[in-house]
Structure 1
Amino acid sequence: MAEQDLLTRPVGNALATTENGGVQPRALPANIDAEAAFLGAVLIDNRVTEELPVELRPAHFFDPLHQRIYERIQTLLERGAVVTPVTLKPYFEADEALKDVGGITYLAQLTADGQGLLASRELAQQIYDLALLRELVSVGRTLVEGALDTSEDVAPLDRVAQAEADLFRVAEGATGGDDTASFASATHKALGLIELAINSGGHISGKTTGFNSINDKCGGLHNSDLIIVAGRPGMGKSSLATNIAFNCADRLLRDRRDGIEEEKSAGAGVALFSLEMSSDQLATRILAEQAEISSEALRMGKISRDDFQKLSFASQRLAELPLFIDDTPALTIAALRTRARRLKRKHDIGLIVIDYLQLLQGSGRATDNRVNEISEISRGLKTLAKELQVPVIALSQLSRAVEQREDKRPMLSDLRESGSIEQDADMVWFIYREDYYVAAREPKRPVETDDAKTHEAHAAWMAEMERVFGLAELIVAKQRHGATGKVRLRFEPRITRFSDLAEGEMDGGYD
């Protein structure tokens, strides 16, 4: 069969009119001959699989027998074996479907004419495209069946959200034939993460936070994880989230410029959903941090020409930063997921940051119970992380119970309207800055008094303030992948920037 015939052969039965004038439905899109020709090309030259334009998986084949043959080919190639009809023979001698098409001789027939070698890339692309069309047919059928269901317990918006998720899955190249992963494929992914950790110096198996101390503690930010970052007002949780978002996007930008493949980069494109601050306020904060200029002075315009030049240079350097800010207020969890899918499809984002969780809205059915609504939101965020295969960082408020205790360090029970937040989260981080509370306890200043006690009290406060100023704790209160504990950081309130402690500071600070 000619090369062009393989690619243009009908991929489904045309609509036909029956004797009584009815319409005969089409078969699912498929090209069995193209599948056979491609398998034949692989069996003749195993290097064909190294140059495919798409990631072809067994589930993309329409014929179940072809699925099993390609799966076995992949397994043998991963072991470093040479795959031919002869080496495949032991695995298919008892295959009933193979017996129906001629038995073991069918494997040899696949390589008979070698036509597939002339267009192996085109054949792979067609097999992949037809698999997506079949999946689209399945999604359409499910969508129609769901839309026709008018029972009282059906929520139309839920149907729409599910349809969007299904369409996103098709657009990403997923096939719904088998949602389960074999242990072999799961271990292959695990080994890839371990290799990434080795290549990064032994401390990151996910996306970087930009902080060595946090990466060492948590191994970076892992795909499908929900990370809750919580703290009382004034602790700097928004600053930390913005710092991490910038660091991750900046790492990807630097790796791109250095010619490192994006799959091997510890950085990622970042989507930052800011429900509290506007995009220009966030941009101002990042510019102030990078130019090392007080954000307050920047807002008020109290900067010199030299400072403005620093800002200009910083702005030029960050122009290509893969950081995408959505400052739409009062987003519902469904709308956020839709926007995140769109950003994933258009910009291949690898990290999502949400500031903050309590400003999101649920579906509307749980508004009578705020705890239930927050639980719905936290479950939705965890589902989003798994669906898009990216880490999701969500900021959260803490209850005022913290202020009533002598030790102001937060605990898991302090999560406001916690519901299932603690349960859904893979990691929970608390931000704690003792200098915030010490500053609030400043005694009367000894300005116009010679009272010794006043001098002594203020001197003691000054000593305590000097000991804790600029130090922060990141308390890892929950971590599915490792141990809990504390990470010490430095915080510069003037430019709202966290950073790793210098080596000499690691043993200092507070307990």
Structure 2
Amino acid sequence: MSHPYEPSPHGGMADEPPPFQPHDGDQNALDQDEGDEALLRAGASLISTIRKYLPGASDYDVGRFCGELSRLAEAYALPPHNLEAEQALLGALMVNNGVYERFRDRLKPEHFADPVNGRIYAAAMQLMDAGKGVSPITLKNIFDQDDTLAEIGGAKYLVRLAASVVTVVNAEDYAESIIGLWQRRQLLDVVRETSVALGRVGVENNVPQLVQQMESRLYDLAEKGEAMGSPVEPMPTVGARVRQQIEAAYKSEGRSYGIGLGLPILDEIIGRWAAPQLIILGGRPAMGKTTVARSFARYAARSCRETRDYLHDVQEAAARGHRVLFATYEMSGDEQYVGWLSYETGLAADAMKQGRLQPAQIAAAVEASHNLDRLPIQIDGSATNTVEALFNRARRAQRRGGLDFLVVDYIQLMQAGADRWRQSSRTQDVSEISRGLKMLAKDLSIPVLALSQLNRSVEQREDKRPLLADLRESGAIEQDADKVVFLYRHEYYLHQAEPQRRPDENDDKFHDRYENWQRACDEARGKAELIVAKRRDGKTGKAGINLNLMTGRMTENDQEAQ
């Protein structure tokens, strides 16, 4: 029988498979899947070979084995990399900052093979996490004094990265490719370092320790790779959490689940807000969407995070209420504040703005304002209305004081962040915004209530009650949303249709018709419908409420839920 390390007929060593051959061709053209599998096989074979041969091997044997390792390492002298993927990802990030959220928790600067690209990405991360935009201009300010970037073109290199982008759809694929190639480089480092270490250690004492070290590094690398993907949880972990939720819901008669809406009928028909839901509140202009959203935000802030009970004491609400961020793009923060003040005082917003108040009313407004100040509500009135900017502000709010509920007023006034460098349809932009809001809800584990306009086609129908198809500019809103609720006020449309006398109509007929219209207006006055058109966790339906647009207060009416 031949010695384990004697040459074999196929040119390798006896009793072992042929030496590992790297994939032919340029490293940039390496097939990633084939390369990954081959390197993993090489790593496993390396451990097996060390365990099998080295414990009793001679110095000669160790040298031969090191030679095999060296040849493997030299075959990959140019580390696996894909500069095109790195450049495409950086360009996509500058064109559309929103793609950052697709890989921000996985892709790190050290994953880039080109150090300059890695430093550009690090600077982009710093800007994004600070709530600032990333573009060739903002990055240029950081790299103005950077000689390394200057050697490859300086600011022109940044502009070229952004200008060469055709689409941002593949940005996540670029990130995965960069991460995968980094893992392969790490695995090759293990092979090289093990080769060097084997030439230095004493065979009898240190080889088992070396094997353990190598195994540990390979397992660490594998675990890091898993951590870069989507979180994977075993069924018992998920099951334990769900059982706790079910038990808590039973003990609290359902109040432990999510955030209440303020009225029992709404909790029943619409369902409480729960993480990580994206809820769409849609309606035509003048329906009162913002008024209703403010009411939901106020009730959330005044309901206890632990017990879900309503907190009458404002000091207790400040400490224990749900923490709300209200992003307002249509109205200013001052206007939203006056709306909440109207709710607290029962005074009309116009009367307060125009100073048409009695001394007692002014005193009541001031006192109510001080109480309102204590509620855990933050108003985001920033003019920067991209999804990524909102994401950063919401994350900052959650990090600093906690965040339980986000309201966005409204989707069609947001920007996808892509229009600076590429042309895209508004439908594509709204789809990207909708997807971004859903990702925000999942990433921060909070419910997000987003207001949405509806298409004008509603006005052409005899029955003006909205349908899912009426969601403006994007069917993606319907797809991404966990719940879609429409606000409808028949009173508004009745007032738009005041009867006019027809040429062939006598006085009595016109009078009867006008009286019927007045009667219908009286019956519809102050009433609204919240129509649940989609609900992933329950059935659809309709709830009738009383809605006072002057104060924003909602109450139940006598209409039965359907």
- What TM-score do you get using the length of structure 1 for normalisation? 0.63
- Does the alignment pair 1:194 with 2:246? yes
Q: Give, in whole Å, the separation in 2 of the partners of 1:250 and 1:186.
A: 30
Residue number in structure 2 paired with 1:226: 278
Corresponding residue SS for 2:398: helix
**CA drift at 1:303:** 1.2
CA contact (8 A) 2:326 2:377 kept: yes
Q: Give, in whole Å, the separation in 1 of the partners of 2:466 and 2:482.
A: 18
Residue number in structure 1 paired with 2:515: 459
Report Cα offsets for 1:28-54 as digits up to 9, x if no partner.
Answer: xxxxxxxxxxxxxxxxxxxxxxxxxxx
Residue number in structure 1 paired with 2:234: 182
Residue number in structure 2 paired with 1:31: none
Question: Which residue, out of 270, 294, 301, partners 1:242?
Answer: 294
Question: Which residue, out of 103, 108, 127, partners 1:142?
Answer: 108
- Does the alignment pair 1:387 with 2:443? yes
Q: Give, in whole Å, the separation in 1 of the partners of 2:531 and 2:467.
A: 9
Q: Which amino acid aligns with 1:415?
A: L
Q: 1:329 to 1:362 in 2, by over 3 A?
A: same
Q: Give, in whole Å, the separation in 2 of the partners of 1:219 and 1:207.
A: 9
Q: 1:193 to 1:461 in 2, by over 3 A?
A: same
Q: Give, in whole Å, the separation in 1 of the partners of 2:113 and 2:126.
A: 9
Q: Give, in whole Å, the separation in 2 of the partners of 1:208 and 1:197.
A: 13
Q: Which amino acid aligns with 2:293?
A: A
Q: Which amino acid aligns with 2:447?
A: P
Unmatched 5+ stretches in structure 2: 1-103, 132-225
% identical equivalent positions? 34
Q: How many residues are matched?
A: 354
**CA drift at 1:347:** 1.6
Q: Which amino acid aligns with 1:486?
A: K
Question: Which residue, out of 376, 392, 400, partners 1:346?
Answer: 400
**CA drift at 1:157:** 9.5
Q: Which amino acid aligns with 2:487?
A: I
**CA drift at 1:217:** 2.1
**CA drift at 1:162:** 8.1
Residue correspondence of structure 1 range 42-441 to structure 2 within 5 A = 142-146=108-112, 148=114, 176=227, 179-202=231-254, 205-252=257-304, 255=311, 267-364=321-418, 367-441=423-497
Corresponding residue SS for 2:373: coil
Corresponding residue SS for 2:408: strand
- Does the alignment pair 1:489 with 2:553? no
Corresponding residue SS for 1:475: strand
Q: Give, in whole Å, the separation in 1 of the partners of 2:317 and 2:375.
A: 17
Unmatched 5+ stretches in structure 1: 1-137, 166-174
Q: Give, in whole Å, the separation in 2 of the partners of 1:442 and 1:155.
A: 61
**CA drift at 1:145:** 2.7
Report Cα offsets for 1:389-434 as digits up to 9, x if no partner.
Answer: 0000110110000000000000010001114111111100100010
Q: 1:278 to 1:454 in 2, by over 3 A?
A: same
Corresponding residue SS for 2:244: helix
CA contact (8 A) 1:204 1:219 kept: no
CA contact (8 A) 2:318 2:375 kept: no
- What TM-score do you get using the length of structure 2 for normalisation? 0.57
Residue number in structure 1 paired with 2:188: none
RMSD: 3.5
**CA drift at 1:141:** 7.9
**CA drift at 1:324:** 0.3
**CA drift at 1:218:** 3.6
